Amino acid sequence: GENVEQHPSTLSVQEGDSAVIKCTYSDSASNYFPWYKQELGKGPQLIIDIRSNVGEKKDQRIAVTLNKTAKHFSLHITETQPEDSAVYFCAAGMEYGNKLVFGAGTILRVKS
């Protein structure tokens, strides 16, 4: 089955700097890679996703890159703000409507 590894487990950056979180997956059949942000006491919220026919996707300060050959994908947050502080999860799976396997999560702290 699918296995997703996520690094780093914690990341501390200064406000305004960039943050990068990386994930690798094992199942070459996976073709859908969402990223979720979880704040304290809340459920994970989708922030961006990418499908395997695309190499990069951007949404304002957030971007995701995918390398299918190497089976890894990354989340990039530019111009970080204190409200970006949260736990971020990557996941891999087969399109919508199928199960996702989640990474272990990254605690991001943005220091002001």
Binding footprint of other proteins on the chain (CB under 8 A): 34, 36, 41-46, 49, 89, 95-105
Q: How far is the CB of 112 from other proteins (least distance, A)?
A: 27
Neighbours of 63 (CB within 10 A): 18
Q: How far is the CB of 38 from other proteins (least distance, A)?
A: 9
Residue closer to other proteins, measured from CB, 80 or 90 = 90
Helix (H, G, I), strand (E, B), or coil: what is residue 82?
helix
Residue closer to other proteins, measured from CB, 58 or 104 = 104
Q: How far is the CB of 99 from other proteins (least distance, A)?
A: 5
Residue closer to other proteins, measured from CB, 37 or 74 = 37
Residue closer to other proteins, measured from CB, 80 or 89 = 89
Beta strands per DSSP E along the chain: 4-7, 10-14, 19-25, 32-38, 45-51, 56-59, 62-67, 72-77, 86-93, 100-102, 106-111
Q: How far is the CB of 101 from other proteins (least distance, A)?
A: 8
The answer to whether 8 touches 69, Cβ cutoff 8 Å, is no
The closest alpha carbon to 64, from 72, 53, 76, 54, belongs to 76
